[in-house]
Amino acid sequence: MSETPGQHVPHTLIADQERYSRQILFPGIGAAGQQRLGSAHVAVIGVGATGAASASLLARAGVGTLALIDRDFVEPSNLQRQVLFDEADALESLPKAEAARRKIALFNSAVTVQAHIADLVPANIAELLGSADLILDATDNFETRYLLNDYAVQQSRPWIYAAAIGAYAATMNVLPGAANPTACLACIFPKPPSGPVETCDTSGILATAVNFAASIQVTEALKFLTGQPNLMRRSLLSFDLWTSERSEISTARPRPDCAVCGQRHFTHLAGEGRPHITLCGRNSVQIHEHHRPVDFAAMRDRLAPHGNVRFNDLLLRFERSPHTLTLFADGRAIVQGTTDITVARSLYARFIGS
């Protein structure tokens, strides 16, 4: 069949047997495994570097439903490693979850992608993750990971941790509902790291490390989704692609005195001590205490005398040097140009409202 340049060939013309033929040939998947993938539902938390790579791999593998959850928008610095975005997405400051949904539709329109432009918090975690068979962590902060761990252990839901920084990648399967459960995140790391924590904004990151972490994470996910959890690795695996240093810590058994899976204290899920304003990386502060609908057109008219404003159906960007305020439809905002929470709160109250 011929097509004119730029013409999109609809999925109905591409049979699943043809699309997934090489994957079906792999004995670990086969026709039965492919069918199971098609009926599976996976949630990906964070659609930055690791999340975009994992979501792309899952969609190309034929996972039927993907829930993509991300609080952020595409920026030019993302393009070096975040495989589902392009320059147009960055220029438009498109929310990452929506940009990823649009790109996936171009290469596998049969996959149902639910784009959630949201910060995962105790108030929405059950709604966003409730129907997923498996949860993949691709976040950039331990606050969200400990929240996810609480929820997964409480609900006996499987999840897979993944992280990448510099040339370093790490991943770990957490199977609280298995016949022989693994250790949970709190078993291995009883408390979040204290003091300054390395981020891609301070230490840089290689796209190869991101794709390494995502490849292992998704391979473990495929084992689970095709009904082979017995093949899943039971260790925290870390690897530095630059130095070739490798380490592996057993996660085969829960720690009996673990506060989460042993004593079932779900402090993060209860929201105890959770701040309403948090540092968000790249010289930014996130304000997520306001949950109210925003009329972007009316807000544009209100802010125009004070700086440059542009908006679309998903967000509004207000630039008043040296700060940029990105406002989402539910009232959540990211203030760039400061790490001072007091300054960020003041800017929000002054221009958006308290």
In whole angstroms, give the CA distance from residue 232 to residue 235. Answer: 9
Render pLDDT for 30-74 as a digit per residue (tens, 0 to 9): 999 999 999 999 999 999 999 999 999 999 999 999 999 998 889
Give the model's confidence band at 10: pLDDT under 50 very low, under 70 low, under 90 confident, else very high: very low
Q: Would you give the DSSP letter of residue 48?
A: S
Confidence band, pLDDT 50/70/90 cuts, at residue 253: very high
Cβ neighbours of 249 (radius 10 Å): 12
Report whether pLDDT(107) > 70: yes
For residues 169 and 210, the answer to whether their CB atoms sit within 8 Å is yes
pLDDT at 6 over 90: no
Total residue count of the chain as it appears in this document: 354
The domains of the chain are located at 11-250, 277-351
Comparing 5-14, 66-75, 292-301, the range with the smallest average pLDDT is 5-14
In terms of Cβ atoms closer than 10 Å to its own Cβ (0-12, 13-18, 19+), residue 144 is buried
Q: What is the pLDDT of residue 3?
A: 38
Confidence of residue 275 (pLDDT cuts 50, 70, 90): low
d(CA 314, CA 50): 23
Per residue in 313-354, pLDDT (tens digit) is 888 999 999 999 999 888 888 898 888 888 888 888 888 876
Tell me the CATH class for 277-351. Answer: alpha beta
> What pLDDT shows up at residue 288?
75
Active site (annotated) includes residue 200? yes
| pLDDT band, very low/low/confident/very high, at 199 (cuts 50, 70, 90) | low
Catalytic residue (choose from 184, 187, 200, 280): 200
Phi-psi region of 75 (alpha: psi -120 to 50; beta: other; left: phi over 0): beta
How far, in whole angstroms, is CA 138 from its chain's centroid?
4
Contact partners, residue 229, CB within 8 Å, separation at least 6: 158, 175, 178, 223
- Please report the pLDDT score of residue 312 as a whole number: 87
**Dihedral of CA 172/178/182/183: which sign?**
positive
- The whole-number pLDDT of residue 203 equals 74
CATH topology of domain 11-250: Rossmann fold (3.40.50)
pLDDT band at 241 (very low <50, low <70, confident <90, very high): very high
pLDDT for the residue 226: 98
Residues contacting residue 352 through CB under 8 Å, at least 6 positions apart: 290, 299, 325, 327, 331, 333
